[in-house]
Amino acid sequence: MLSLRKIFYENISFLALVFPAFFFACNVPKNTGTSKSTTYNPATDTLRLPGENHLRNVRQLTFGGDNAEAYWSFDSKSLSFQATNEKWGASCDQIFTMPIESGTNGGAKPIQISSGLGKTTCSYFMPGNKTILFASTHGEHSGEGCPSAPRSVGGKYVWAIHQEFDIYVADLKGKIVKQLTNSPGYDAEGTVSPDGKKIVFTSTRSGDLELWTMNIDGSDQRQVTKALGYDGGAFFTPDSKKLVFRASRPKTDEEAKTYKELLAQGLVQPTALEIFMCNVDGSDLRQITNVGKANWAPFMHPSGKKILFCSNHHSQSGRQFNVFPSILTARDWSKSPSTLASIPSRCSRRTASTSPFPATATTAALGIRTCLWRSGWIESG
């Protein structure tokens, strides 16, 4: 739920939602004001796929296991992420952190932040880079293994919405220093505003999967969205004033019935999602995409004119996900979308998040199925 300060920032990581993945990374030269670098050698950029004109210097950061939801520290030096890796003792998703320059050193276990009890998801560095927030079921599963959940129901692909998830903050040694939520139901998918003042998260405390915000200390928890459907994977815009997120909106009585029945079982079907945007208080809500299928992992371009997101709307099989930009000033942009990352069908997902410091060149963390990438970003249109 990718990924995967999700694009035009120095050492920027694409987010947003990154699915199980290996990590890749790069060293990005300072941009000289053009899309070309005098030091870039395409012959050595062997992990860059044909047609990926916006990516440079791709390198691998993790090796083995399922690695996902990789997000940058505020100083752009580290990533937090979740991983399932039996060699690391993680039989279901646990939270880890690693320096961006070394990654996991060919597969060595990185620093583990979560306790190893229960299941975790959606970590994010807090301001100061000394603590990390994440959602965990460990409060309800302290003496148990990983909570189970089906991958499909009636032939429908589903995600589990574990009601035991609450949001915690831990230091870099794994010590829980604060619990931010403690309400019945699912509280997860938390991300932090660039100004370090707010957290947005998804919760079922109102009876539906809605967006909520709270202060950085967990106080003043407020509901943002109210329409029926799954609102999740939210990120703040660079000015911390707006939210971009994925959402489902059941259009018929039958779709609404199916959605409610699955949610009652702690499940959601993430195959019909569009990108939305609103003010932090929920006002000025508008739908950004209308292309069908699954559109995930939105993250605002620092210019405020584009949102990068991951989509399979162009794929007949639904298994090929690419990264696209939506042009906010062109409402019907989908007639001629520009593909940023071209993924062959054998790789299922690539998503993006950006790091927090402005620049004309960026670094991106991109997720491909069981692969996460970090790459230089070059603006070329």
Distance CA 98, CA 87 (A): 16
Cα separations in angstroms, 109 against 79, 113, 267: 14, 12, 31
Q: Which residue, among 213, 132, 199, 201, has the nearest Cα to 165 in the 3D structure?
A: 201
Q: What is the mean pLDDT of residues 106-120?
A: 92
Distance CA 374, CA 101 (A): 10
Residue 281 has pLDDT above 70, yes or no: yes
- In the structure, what pLDDT confidence band is assigned to residue 150 with cuts at 50, 70 and 90? very high
Segment 51-89, tens digit of pLDDT: 777 777 887 888 889 998 899 999 999 999 999 999 999
pLDDT at 237: 94
pLDDT at 9: 30
Q: What is the mean pLDDT of residues 166-176?
A: 97
Are residues 12 and 306 in contact, defined by beta-carbon separation less than 8 angstroms?
Answer: no
Residue 364 has pLDDT above 50, yes or no: no
Tell me what percent of the chain is helix, strand and coil, each rounded to the nearest 5. 5, 40, 55
Q: Does residue 103 or residue 159 have the better pLDDT?
A: 159
CATH topology of domain 9-28+47-377: Neuraminidase (2.120.10)
pLDDT at 219: 98
